[in-house]
Amino acid sequence: MTAAFVAPEIAWAQLTPVLLVLGAGVIGVLVEAFAPQRVRRPVQLALSLAATAAAIVAVAALWSGVRETGGTVVLDGSIILDGPALVLQGMLALLGLVAFLVIADRTESGEDAFAPSASAVPGSDYEEVARRKGLEQTEVYPLVLFALGGMMIFPAAGDLLTLFVALEVLSLPLYLLSGMARRRRLLSQEASMKYFLLGAFASAFFLFGAALLYGFAGSVRLADIAVATTTVVGMDGLLLAGLVLVLVGLLFKVGAVPFHSWTPDVYQGAPTPITGFMAACTKLAAFGAMLRIVYVVLPPLEWDLMPLLLGVTVITMVVGTVVAIVQTDIKRMLAYSSIAHAGFILVGVVALTQSGISSVLFYLLAYGLATIGAFAIVSLVREVNAGPGGAVVAEATHLSQWSGLGQRHPVLAGAFTLFLLSFAGIPLTAGFAGKFAVFAAAIDGGLAWLVVVGVVASAAAVFFYVRLIVLMFFTDPIGTAGESTTVVRSEGLTTVAIGLGVLGTIALGVFPSPLLDVLADAAVFIP
């Protein structure tokens, strides 16, 4: 007798934010294939902004239901939409919308940040012909949408296979986008290759760890693995090795030491708008997935794996801060700054308290807004040749080129100063509220000594942020090799993104309590 087929029940409403973003990415591919070239950019931009805005609305619509029920298990546990997952999806959609404004912007000469033909050999005749014809790489938009969709699945994944698929979906577009810079093409392609090769190694570590955990628990679901940690006897080697390898894959994505070597090269070589998007959103998604694994699977193994995570946290804060001090390129300085911030966020992760979850979520939003804003400003500051015509060339990334910028462009330099002060954790900025929250969570978790290390590292980090502020406002402009520095005019989308970053940084710094209270209510994972 044949058993009757039972159709699976899928909670499509809970998947709406992800489906909107990934669906827009698919439509974007069709636009590239069938739309005339002249309309592709406006259509792609409108589609991308509409999809991210609709995802924010969808998250808001799902919020009350998640708060009442605690969350929903979707697709037989492959996706878990609980409070932290929904908050992270909303934050990713918001930061993705702001990042799209920077990605889409063009200078007054009509140039964007991307090469006219990414496949062309740098310096070749083909590349020059593509530049003269004004070709545009509008496939950037669906690539970013696919990456953003993978990021939104990543922190909501309830099993290791879904987590791995999401990891690849978010990573592969970023490998391509990192090599598409309009200028310094060789540096950009080198960054893309390094990111791809090292990312492949990290993915292999993650997959090997997932295989070991399946061998231990007989399941790839995080809830089943968590149960097995308290019931299975005599297989601790598989469990510990598997968790370590999975954590290595996640620590690579957040740029924690010693898995950070890709960060400065990729941040420097990638198109600056993509650097901002990657720095903010990838870190947010990866920390979201790490929170789920640490808080769902790790508690019974606290004494086994916590020393490892504590060691990574300390060296990440110290190495990121110390190496950032000696940097002379602003993008590399911000890259090592992001490494140090990964260490500060890890302080909240290893607290193993509910306040640790909410503080990490707050910190990620504060850091993301300031990061996208900071890299948006970097994309506008350019070198100008002193020769005939005064042609605008590459971005002015050497610190000496920022001398006197505050005297010539005080509003832009003032916004950049606000972001730097937020990175430094100065009071009345979002960065201060975020650091205070993660440090308070660590003290609640009995890690006062780790907070001392974090405070010392934060104090040392103030040096390289203040050094740049002094250069901008208290140092006269210095012309080198017949070049000067200017701020290019654009269509204004970057200015809007910077303004949103400024408003968010001030609002979260002055009034952090409402958001912290909301996050505290949502900071509960379901198995």
Distance of CA 10 to the CA centre of its chain: 30
Taking each helix axis from N to C terminus, what angle separates 83-104 and 354-380, rounded to the nearest 10 degrees? 0
What distance in Å separates the CA atoms of residue 262 and residue 266, rounded to the nearest whole number? 6
How big is the chain, counted in residues? 527
Q: Please tell me the predicted confidence (pLDDT) of residue 152.
A: 94
Q: Please tell me the predicted confidence (pLDDT) of residue 358.
A: 92
pLDDT digits (tens, 9 = 90+) for 124-157: 776 777 777 767 788 899 999 999 999 999 999 9
- Give the residue among 99, 107, 182 at the shortest CA–CA distance from 137: 182
Q: Please tell me the predicted confidence (pLDDT) of residue 232.
A: 73
Beta bridge partners of 487: 381
- Give the residue among 93, 71, 105 at the shortest CA–CA distance from 22: 93
- Give the residue among 257, 366, 367 at the shortest CA–CA distance from 310: 257
What distance in Å separates the CA atoms of residue 418 and residue 465, rounded to the nearest whole number? 10
- Compute the C-alpha angle 151/155/160, nearest 5°: 105
**Strands 392-395 vs 381-385: parallel, antiparallel or unpaired:** antiparallel
- Give the residue among 215, 216, 220, 210 at the shortest CA–CA distance from 231: 216
Tokens 């302080």, residue located: 347
What distance in Å separates the CA atoms of residue 277 and residue 267, rounded to the nearest whole number? 10
What distance in Å separates the CA atoms of residue 220 and residue 163, rounded to the nearest whole number? 10
What distance in Å separates the CA atoms of residue 278 and residue 177, rounded to the nearest whole number? 10
What are the tokens at 441? 């969570």
- Compute the C-alpha angle 14/167/85, nearest 5°: 30
What distance in Å separates the CA atoms of residue 269 and residue 185, rounded to the nearest whole number? 8
What are the tokens at 439? 């440090």
Structural contact between residues 294 and 282, judged by C-beta atoms closer than 8 angstroms: no
Distance of CA 166 to the CA centre of its chain: 15
What are the tokens at 270? 């990638």
345: which residues sit within 8 A by CB, 6+ positions away?
254, 283, 287, 360, 363, 364, 367, 438
- Give the residue among 343, 523, 454 at the shortest CA–CA distance from 515: 523
- Compute the C-alpha angle 467/471/474, nearest 5°: 110
Half-sphere exposure of 228 (CA within 13 A, CB side): 19
- Is the bond preceding 155 in cis, omega lying within 30 degrees of 0? no
- Compute the C-alpha angle 120/126/132, nearest 5°: 110
Q: How far apart are the first and last CA of the chain?
A: 36
Q: Please tell me the predicted confidence (pLDDT) of residue 196.
A: 93
| Mean pLDDT of successive 10-residue stretches along the chain, which has 527 residues | 70 88 94 88 93 94 84 84 91 94 84 76 71 78 94 92 93 91 85 92 93 90 88 80 93 90 90 92 93 87 84 94 91 93 94 90 94 93 66 75 86 93 92 93 92 93 91 74 70 91 94 90 81
pLDDT digits (tens, 9 = 90+) for 180-234: 888 888 888 899 999 999 999 999 999 999 999 999 888 899 988 988 888 877 7
274 three-class SS: helix
Tokens 């440090």, residue located: 439
342 three-class SS: helix
The secondary element (H helix, E strand) that includes residue 299 is: none
